[in-house]
């Protein structure tokens, strides 16, 4: 660092430095504080949105509890939650419930649409659930290749067994028995608990008891 002989020289050096760099320093400070305050605002905004979505979801569910006559109101409210609060878990829950309603109405195309929406949102909690349910819908639609592709895309370890079982069912429906058997074995091995009764049944059909 340069040494200055007098106080006046030091003052002049500081003035010159500030003249050359002052704007950058101020701008950097503004950006820095903006980042801090911006992040706090973003967190507060997300919390507020989640609280609003929570209230709207509770109101929507109350219409379901009121009876089937109010189902159209739930659909309207659920679609509003999806549109206005798509990043929240309540939007994913609303879409899952809508898919359930569509399945009960035997409208599998509409159910698949709702489930794909949840998958596309990428919610860590509900996207894997939607993948499994979508796999079952595709299986019911006899879209076996799509079912297999979807099952292979499931990466969440907690849902691997279910995905492999669905894959096995699709392979079995396609007449690929050996590949189906292997998928059922993999499903058993991926399960931390005892095999699901349907999986146990499939394994027994292939002569596999454990």
pLDDT value of residue 29: 57
Cα(142)–Cα(162) distance, rounded to whole angstroms?
18
DSSP string of 147-203?
HHHHHHH---GGGHHHHHHHHHHHHHHTT-HHHHHHHHHHHHHH-SSSPPHHHHHHH
pLDDT value of residue 28: 58
pLDDT value of residue 38: 43
pLDDT value of residue 69: 46
Q: Report residue 73: phi and psi, to 5°.
A: -65, -40
Helices (H), the chain: 7-65, 71-84, 89-104, 108-121, 127-140, 144-153, 160-173, 177-190, 197-205
- Select from 1.10.30, 1.10.10, 1.20.1440, 1.25.40 the CATH code of 50-141: 1.25.40
pLDDT value of residue 36: 47
Contact assessment for residue 96 and residue 133, using Cβ atoms and an 8 Å cutoff: yes
Rounded alpha-carbon distances, angstroms, from residue 138 to 22, 33, 146: 63, 50, 7
pTM of this prediction?
A: 0.69
pLDDT, mean of each 10-residue run, the chain (210 residues): 55 61 56 48 46 59 51 82 83 88 91 95 88 94 96 93 94 95 94 83 86
pLDDT value of residue 25: 52
Six-digit token pair at 23?
A: 């704007």
127-140 helix and 89-104 helix, angle to the nearest 10 degrees: 20
**Chain center to CA of 76:** 22
């Amino acid at each position: 660092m340069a040494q200055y002989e007098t106080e006046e020289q030091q003052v002049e050096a500081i003035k010159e430095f500030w003249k050359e760099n002052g704007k950058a320093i101020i701008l950097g400070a503004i950006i820095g504080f903006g980042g801090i305050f911006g992040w706090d605002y973003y967190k507060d905004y997300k919390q507020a949105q989640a609280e609003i979505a929570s209230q709207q979801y509770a109101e929507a569910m109350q219409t379901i509890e009121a009876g089937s006559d109010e189902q159209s109101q739930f659909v309207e409210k659920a679609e509003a939650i999806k549109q206005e609060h798509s990043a929240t878990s309540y939007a994913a829950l609303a879409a899952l419930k809508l898919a359930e309603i569509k399945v009960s109405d035997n409208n599998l195309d509409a159910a698949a649409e709702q489930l794909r929406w949840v998958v596309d949102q990428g919610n860590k909690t509900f996207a894997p659930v939607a993948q499994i349910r979508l796999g079952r819908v595709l299986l019911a639609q006899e879209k076996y290749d799509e079912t297999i592709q979807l099952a292979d895309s499931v990466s969440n370890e907690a849902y691997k067994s279910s995905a492999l079982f669905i894959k096995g069912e699709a392979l079995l429906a396609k007449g690929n028995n050996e590949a189906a058997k292997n998928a059922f074995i993999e499903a058993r091995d991926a399960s931390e608990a005892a095999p699901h009764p349907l999986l146990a049944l499939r394994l027994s059909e292939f002569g596999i008891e454990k």
